[in-house]
Amino acid sequence: MSVKHDILLDATDEDCPMPMVHSKSALDTMSSGQILKLISNKVGSINNIRTLVANNPYELLSEYKSEDGFVFLIQKN
């Protein structure tokens, strides 16, 4: 899947909730409309990222599993 992203956050091998914490920090610095690509190989990240998006002005554009782990494309609204 090829979607242009503005920031890549590789949180592979980081224990939960750190991928979510780093994602929130990155998204806070981004402008509206920009896209964050997060990669995490921890299953717990799935629910954490979904919750983060549900409780903030973000949109989960895509979520899929790749060779690298779980990939999330999150747009800041």
Q: Which residues contact 66 (CB under 8 A, 6 or more apart)?
A: 39
Task: Domain of residue 56: give its range.
Answer: 7-76
Q: What CATH number is associated with residue 25?
A: 3.30.110.40
* Residue 16 annotated to the active site: yes
Within-domain flag for 2? no
- Record the pTM: 0.94
Domain-located, residue 47: yes
Q: Is residue 35 included in any domain, yes or no?
A: yes
CB-count burial class (<10 Å; 0-12, 13-18, 19+) for 56: middle
**DSSP 8-state class, residue 21:** H
5-54 pLDDT per residue, tens: 999 999 999 999 999 999 999 999 999 999 999 999 999 999 999 999 99
**How many distinct structural domains can be found in the chain?**
1
Active-site residue (options: 6, 14, 16, 46): 16
Q: Is residue 48 part of a domain?
A: yes
